[in-house]
């Protein structure tokens, strides 16, 4: 049913599978070694960003909530998994060191050693309360979902309850992100201040495995998460639920008067996408190796919106395409690999001018191509944007039908 | 002590049996020739007590003008000439100057103070009083009292005040000290605090029972006032109890007595719990290989048998009570002054936020257009000020040029932005937000490309450099006052434009009902464009003002954008007085939170944002909500 309605799901899954297979065959760990490990990590990270963009598309493109705080949930997920990675890895090192001592260590001594190692940089030797469960992978994995989930639930409940919507909500989410980032920047909040968590690429228990193998595992995990979430998101937005959230996007007051609990729908979609972002973050940061509060800066969330807008919001594949296209292009330009353009009187160095180009492109996309890159696919599929001129969708003779207004 | 008192008496009474200068100098010839700080004190006092010529001798000595003539007489060198230190006769021949070190000269100067206090020359009396104010000892008090009736009234008042302060510190009679302390009530000067604070110094003691004559600050109960560890450490430091073994020491002791993989008959592998380690250590102690450590029971017993208290160093309870009362009054007054200072700070921060937000209040509040590039307009204004300074060297002139220039530059940028982007996105606020965000990214990077990433200075003219203050605590820098005035000026200007001009009338009409306004012959597009230009221009001026006290970087505006939006939202959209109230609230709140946790401005910002989020729960439309039919949603 789902696939009959959205054949693009199959195409997407096929493309993703083929991509993963090709990368695996060309990897150093399981194939020819044509693609270096750093590039595989880049692909893996890009897939995670695409996952976050997918969530952003559901919450913004379908439910119409322009959240400028979803990258905060992404980073929170990263922090939660990073706590375990750092704690368990330090535990291994500390245990190995203490094992050489003549007297075996007590559990308290081991914990003190770990705390000293981790929090020495911020001048503390005590393990903060927030790290109580850092030793347990299962609990931290649960927290990856729970902490951003509960956070989003609380924030969303407060915001939607008082009917904060539109730009106000955007500004409020941005303020929330800023507050969270500022809080994490403090040394005494227990997350190592602006040092952040580091050394996350070393997976505890897998220290013997080379990074080339670990990176391909993470690529698989990221691709799997993206695929599963894509199917889930397609299912979510295709049925009645999808119709309601799109209706909320188009006219919130009307949906409320029809008797739907608008706040409930919004809250559900806000929290769910926050948790998806957290999963993406939890997969992203072990590949990036380091996380610090700068990752939560409001600008990061706005970039997420930029990817979705450039890819095409209201199209699930659009978000994925946008995230992959822009972030790969961005790392190509800022990596200094793009050739300089000599204008005779001035040489354009893309490292300096990429942001300008991105900003201008973003303005142009917003102005002229609200569907972004996916409008190319729409054009191929023959979907035309009907000239609604304010006319309603509905059963009347003069009204546009859902089929027509799909684009 | 007694000897010093005698010396002081001698100076003023000059009894007949005092040795004359010549005798003293002859008796201490070696010491004077090669003085040492440790031993010269009595000699200096003897000289000071020797009557005629002593003061002149000591002054010359302190000035390194005492020399030794060839025949062994001491001479006072005066330029090329020299005279005998005792007789005043001219000395011929070579004079070898003595060079006392600074420590010795300090002692000489202290000995000279009493004599100088009664000196006929007013400048020398004043200098002596200054020296006494900085560094006085008990023996100066009688000398000061003797010289109280100064012919100069100003100096007499200072002497009287200093006499009271020294009485507080050095008088042996508690009643006199209490009277002196009480005499100062209402005074807030720092020298009084410096005199009072040492009186309240306390030390922490442990004893089986408190001495009857102790002046107790408070008795401490173990567990609530001080932790068991602290209390026990106090006992150990006082030599009243055996030290407890720290975990590390215990571990080291165990490791040192490791025999055949066992410590005290316990296998090493089992020593991974504190219990097992305690058992092993006890076994070792029983065998006599290690000294026994205090056990938990020992600690309990020791803590039970002692009482702990903070005891004043000052023995007299009356004196400490009086000092405490006076200091409390002082602290209260100081708090009040700090409160005033804080209010000024908050006001200044509020005016900065207001200045940053007023442009936004116009574009976002009045027109409903959200402009994420507003922060970049602020930055543009600041850079305009910087560019003006590179062309015009005179800071005042460049500032006068920069303000209108910044207005024009940013107003033009705003109009361009309106024509090219915002006009096409009317009634689509979310898309306006995104598009202007793209503009903001591009402008920021453009500024980086043009001006570089390092901070550019925007120096304030000298007349804005100082600070205005009242008393010792309340002070505010002139530049912040100027910003406050600027903010007020803009508030008045904006109110005038909206309420009293044709443009303002059109603006309000377009805001309330664009269709009707158009029917009445107003061009809504043109009005919107001009309004947008006005808002952007004010952002530019705010940029110059902010640049004067902050570093001008490409990220300057970014730091203000969230706060500015908050200011507008909290105040109530579409209402300039609301923006004012919002700025006052946010500025006051931030400063208020900073007081609770002064070291951490980050925490203040975090809490402030949280507060705003909660505030919006209760007043979703801000402090002054817009009412009427034209309100959306």
ipTM of the complex: 0.82
Q: Count of alpha carbons within 13 Å of B514, Cβ hemisphere only? A: 12
End-to-end CA distance of chain B: 87
- DSSP per position, A48-61: HHHHHHHHHIIIII
Compute the distance between CA of residue B177 and CA of residue B318 in angstroms, rounded to an integer.
9
Q: Report A:161-190 residues touching B (Cβ under 8 A).
A: 161-168, 170-172, 174-176, 178-179, 182-183, 185-186, 188
Helix boundaries (H) for A186-251: 211-238, 240-250
Q: DSSP 3-state assignment of B508?
A: helix
Q: Is B82 helix (H, G, I), strand (E, B) or coil?
A: strand
Mean confidence (pLDDT) of chain A: 87
A13 at B interface, C-beta within 8 A: no
Contacts 24+ apart (CB under 8 A), B223-227: B225/B308, B226/B308
Q: Would you place residue B15 in the very low, low, confident or very high pLDDT band (cuts 50, 70, 90)? A: very low
Residues 224-253 on B with a CB inside 8 Å of A are 247, 251
Chain B residues whose beta carbon lies within 8 Å of the beta carbon of residue A367? 421, 424-425, 435
Q: Cβ separation of A105 and B272 shorter than 8 Å?
A: yes
Are B602 and A305 an interchain contact pair (Cβ–Cβ within 8 Å)? no
> Which tens digit of pLDDT belongs to each residue from B99-134?
777 777 777 777 777 777 777 778 878 877 777 777
Q: What is the mean pLDDT of residues B211-229?
A: 77
Which among B261, B567, B606 is the top mutation candidate for probing chain A, defined by the most A β-carbons within 10 Å of its own β-carbon? Answer: B606
Establish if A121 touches chain B: CB-CB under 8 angstroms: no
Global confidence as pTM: 0.77
Find the closest chain A residue to B438 by CA distance. Answer: A359
Cβ proximity of B43 and B13 under 8 Å: no
Yes or no: say if B543 and B381 are a contact pair by the CB < 8 Å rule: yes
Are A122 and A186 spatial neighbours (Cβ–Cβ below 8 Å)? Answer: no
pLDDT of A286 higher than 90:
yes
Q: How far is B594 from chain A (nearest CA, A)?
A: 14
Q: Which member of A66, A358, A366 has the closest CB to residue B435?
A: A366
DSSP letter at B579 equals: H
The residue ranges of DSSP E strands in B56-103, in sequence order, are: 66-69, 74-78, 81-84, 95-97
Q: What are the CB-based long-range contacts (under 8 Å, 24+) for B29-32?
A: B29/B72, B32/B61, B32/B66, B32/B74, B32/B98
| Percent of chain B whose pLDDT exceeds 90 | 10
Is the CB of B419 inside 8 Å of chain A's CB atoms?
Answer: no
Report B:292-351 residues touching A (Cβ under 8 A): none
Q: Which residues pair with B203 in a beta bridge?
A: B311
- Asked if the model's pLDDT at residue A54 lies above 90, the reply is yes
B449: chain A residues, CB-CB within 8 Å = 352-353, 356
Do A172 and B620 lie within an 8 Å CB cutoff?
A: no
**Which pLDDT band, with edges at 50, 70 and 90, does B17 fall under?**
very low
Q: What pLDDT was estimated at residue B409?
A: 96
pLDDT band at B380 (very low <50, low <70, confident <90, very high): very high
Q: Which chain B residues are closer than 8 Å to A103 by Cβ?
A: 251, 254-255, 258, 263, 268, 271, 277
Of the two residues B101 and A280, the one the predictor is more confident about is A280
For residue A1, count other CB atoms closer than 10 A to its CB: 8
B474-487 pLDDT, tens digit each: 777 888 888 889 88
Chain B residues whose beta carbon lies within 8 Å of the beta carbon of residue A299: 558
Q: Is the pLDDT of residue A256 over 50?
A: yes
Does the structure show a pLDDT above 80 at A49? Answer: yes
Question: Is B174 an interface residue toward A (CB < 8 Å)?
Answer: no
Strand B307-312 to B202-207 pairing: antiparallel
CB distance B498 to B488 below 8 Å: no
Q: Which of B370, B438, B448 sits opposite A363 (nearest CB)?
A: B438
Q: CB-CB: which of A104, A168, A175 is closest to B609?
A: A175
Which candidate in A59, A64, A98, A103 is best for mutational testing of the B interface (most B CBs within 10 A)?
A: A103
**Is residue A383 over pLDDT 70?**
no
Give contacts of A 67-106 with B, CB under 8 A: 101-106
Tell which of A104, A167, A347, A357 to mutate to test the B interface (max B CBs under 10 Å).
A167
CA distances from B628 to A330, A359, B514 (A): 47, 38, 15
Q: What angle do CA B555, B558, B559 make, to 5 degrees?
A: 100
Measured between beta carbons, which residues in chain B are less than 8 angstroms from residue A163?
Answer: 620, 633
| Residues A362, B606: C-beta atoms closer than 8 Å | no
Nearest to B617 among A158, A188, A362 (CB): A158
pLDDT tens for B255-280 read: 777 777 777 777 877 777 777 888 88
């Amino acid at each position: 049913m789902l696939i009959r309605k959205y054949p693009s799901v199959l195409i997407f899954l096929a493309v993703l599978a083929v991509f993963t297979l090709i990368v695996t065959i060309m990897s150093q760990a399981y194939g020819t070694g044509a693609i270096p490990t750093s590039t595989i990590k880049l692909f893996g990270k890009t897939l995670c960003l695409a996952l976050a963009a997918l969530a952003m598309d559901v919450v913004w493109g379908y439910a119409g909530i322009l959240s400028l705080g979803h990258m905060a949930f992404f980073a929170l997920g990263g922090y939660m998994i990073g706590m375990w990675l750092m704690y368990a890895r330090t535990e291994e090192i500390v245990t190995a060191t203490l094992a050489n001592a003549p007297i075996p260590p007590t559990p308290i001594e081991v914990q003190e050693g770990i705390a000293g190692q981790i929090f020495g940089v911020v001048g503390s030797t005590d393990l903060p309360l927030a790290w109580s469960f850092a030793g347990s992978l299962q609990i931290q994995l649960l927290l990856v979902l729970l902490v951003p989930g509960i956070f989003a639930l609380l924030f969303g409940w407060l915001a939607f309850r008082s009917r904060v919507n539109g730009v106000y909500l955007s500004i409020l989410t941005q303020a929330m992100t800023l507050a969270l980032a500022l809080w994490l920047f403090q040394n005494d909040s227990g997350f190592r201040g602006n040092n952040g968590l580091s050394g996350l690429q070393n997976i505890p228990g897998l220290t013997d495995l080379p990074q080339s193998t670990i990176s391909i595992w993470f690529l698989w995990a990221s691709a799997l998460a993206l695929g599963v979430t894509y199917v889930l998101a397609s299912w979510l937005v295709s049925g009645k639920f999808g119709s309601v959230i799109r209706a909320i996007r188009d006219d919130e007051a009307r949906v409320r008067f029809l008797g739907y609990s608008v706040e409930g729908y919004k809250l559900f979609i806000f929290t769910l996408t926050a948790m998806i972002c957290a999963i993406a973050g939890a997969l992203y940061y072990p590949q990036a190796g380091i996380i610090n509060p700068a990752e939560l800066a409001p600008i990061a969330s706005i970039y997420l919106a930029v990817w979705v807008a450039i890819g095409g919001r209201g199209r699930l594949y659009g978000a994925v395409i946008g995230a992959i296209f822009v972030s790969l292009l961005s790392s190509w330009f800022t990596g200094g690999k793009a050739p300089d353009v000599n204008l005779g009187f001035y040489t354009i160095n893309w490292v300096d001018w990429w942001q300008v180009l991105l900003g201008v492109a973003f303005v142009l996309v917003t102005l002229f191509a609200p569907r972004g890159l996916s409008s190319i696919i729409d054009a191929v599929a023959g979907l035309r944007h009907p000239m609604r001129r304010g006319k309603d969708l509905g059963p009347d003779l003069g009204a546009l039908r859902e089929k027509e207004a799909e684009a | 002590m007694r000897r010093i008192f005698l010396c002081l008496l001698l100076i003023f009474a000059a009894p007949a049996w005092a040795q004359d200068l010549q005798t003293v100098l002859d008796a201490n010839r070696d010491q004077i020739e090669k003085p040492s700080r440790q031993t010269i004190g009595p000699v200096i006092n003897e000289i000071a007590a020797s009557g005629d010529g002593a003061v002149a001798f000591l002054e010359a000595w302190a000035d390194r003008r005492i020399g030794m003539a060839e025949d062994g007489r001491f001479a006072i060198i005066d330029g090329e000439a020299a005279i005998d230190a005792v007789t005043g006769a001219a000395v011929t021949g070579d004079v070898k100057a003595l060079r006392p070190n600074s420590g010795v000269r300090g002692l000489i100067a202290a000995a000279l103070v009493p004599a100088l206090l009664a000196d006929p020359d007013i400048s020398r009396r004043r200098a002596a009083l200054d020296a006494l104010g900085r560094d006085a000892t008990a023996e100066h008090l009688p000398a000061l009292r003797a010289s109280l009736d100064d012919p100069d009234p100003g100096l007499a008042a200072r002497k009287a005040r200093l006499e009271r302060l020294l009485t507080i510190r050095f008088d042996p009679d508690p009643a006199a000290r209490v009277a002196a302390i009480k005499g100062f009530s209402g005074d807030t000067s720092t020298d009084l605090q410096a005199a009072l604070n040492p009186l309240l110094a306390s030390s922490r003691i442990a004893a089986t029972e408190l001495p009857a004559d102790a002046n107790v600050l408070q008795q401490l109960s173990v567990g609530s006032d001080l932790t068991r560890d602290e209390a026990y450490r106090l006992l150990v430091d006082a030599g009243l109890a055996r030290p407890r073994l720290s975990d590390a020491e215990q571990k080291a002791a165990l490791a040192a007595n490791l025999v055949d993989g066992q410590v005290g008959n316990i296998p090493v592998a089992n020593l991974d719990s504190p219990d097992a380690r305690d058992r092993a250590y006890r076994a070792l102690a029983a065998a006599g290989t290690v000294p026994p450590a205090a056990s938990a029971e020992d600690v309990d017993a020791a803590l039970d048998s002692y009482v702990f208290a903070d005891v004043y160093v000052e023995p007299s309870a009356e004196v400490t009570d009086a000092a405490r009362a006076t200091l409390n009054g002082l602290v209260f007054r100081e708090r009040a002054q700090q409160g005033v200072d804080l209010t000024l700070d908050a006001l200044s921060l509020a005016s900065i936020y207001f200045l940053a937000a007023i442009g936004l209040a116009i574009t976002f509040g009045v027109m409903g257009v959200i402009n994420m590039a507003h922060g970049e307009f602020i930055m543009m204004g600041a850079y305009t000020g910087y560019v003006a300074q590179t062309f015009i060297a005179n800071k005042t002139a460049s500032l006068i040029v920069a303000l209108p220039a910044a207005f024009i530059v940013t107003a033009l940028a705003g109009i361009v932005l309106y024509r090219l982007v915002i006009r096409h996105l009317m009634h689509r606020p979310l898309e306006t937000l995104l598009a202007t965000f793209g503009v903001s990214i591009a402008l920021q990077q453009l500024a980086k490309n043009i001006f570089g990433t390092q901070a550019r200075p925007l120096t304030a003219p000298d007349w804005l450099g100082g600070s205005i203050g009242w008393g010792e605590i309340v002070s505010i820098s002139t530049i912040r006052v100027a910003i406050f005035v600027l903010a007020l000026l803009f508030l008045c200007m904006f109110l005038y434009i909206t309420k009293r001009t044709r443009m303002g009338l059109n603006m309000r009409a377009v805001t309330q009902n664009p269709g009707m306004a158009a029917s009445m012959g107003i061009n809504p597009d043109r009005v919107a464009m001009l309004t947008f230009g006005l808002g952007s221009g004010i952002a530019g001026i705010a940029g110059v003002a902010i640049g004067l006290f902050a570093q001008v970087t490409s990220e300057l505006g970014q730091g203000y954008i969230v706060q500015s939006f908050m200011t507008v939202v909290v105040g109530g959209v579409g209402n300039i007085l609301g923006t004012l109230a919002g700025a006052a609230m946010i500025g006051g709140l931030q400063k208020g939170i900073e007081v609770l946790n002064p070291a951490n401005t980050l925490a203040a910002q975090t809490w402030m944002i949280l507060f705003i989020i909660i505030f919006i729960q209760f007043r979703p439309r801000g402090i002054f909500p817009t009412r009427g039919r034209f309100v959306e949603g």
